[in-house]
Structure 1
Amino acid sequence: MRHANTELGHYSAENTANDLGIVICKFCSQIIATLPTNGYKKFYIVCDHEQCVSSNETQGGNENEC
C-alpha cells in the first residue's frame, strides 16, 4: 500500500502506473493510500481524524467497514 500526501488530490512520488486502486475516507474524502490493482477500484474506510472517527461511532459503524 502506498500512502498519499495528506492533502486531497496530491499523490506521493511512490505511485506507479499500476496503482489504480484508491483508499478514501468515507467521511472527509481524504485520499489515504493507493493500491496496485488490475483495474480502477475505490475502497472506503475511516481515517484517523477525530471528527471522522466520531462520526463513524455516531452512525454505529465499524472502523474498517468498506
Structure 2
Amino acid sequence: MYQSAKERRPIKDIIGPHLALRYSADKLFDDIDSLKNTEIIIDFQDVYTTSRSFMQRFLYSVI
C-alpha cells in the first residue's frame, strides 16, 4: 500500500506570526503545492493574529 510522506509546515516560518494579507495565503499554498505526494500538516503554532482576508483566502484554498 502506498503511503505518502508527512511534513509539518509551520506558518510562522513561511509567512510570520501575523497573517494579514491574502497574498500571504497564496504564498503559503505555493509552498505547499511544491511538495508533491506529501501529506501536509499546517502548523499554526506561534501565529498571533490573522485577518479576515487571510482566513477567507486560506479557507477558499483548502476547500
**Interval of TM-score (by shorter of Structure 1 and Structure 2):** under 0.3
Q: Flag the structure with more relative contact order, 1 or 2, with Cα contacts below 8 A and sequence separation at least 6.
A: 2
Counting helix residues as a fraction of each chain, which structure ranks higher? 2
TM-score (normalised: structure 1): 0.27
TM-score (normalised: structure 2): 0.27
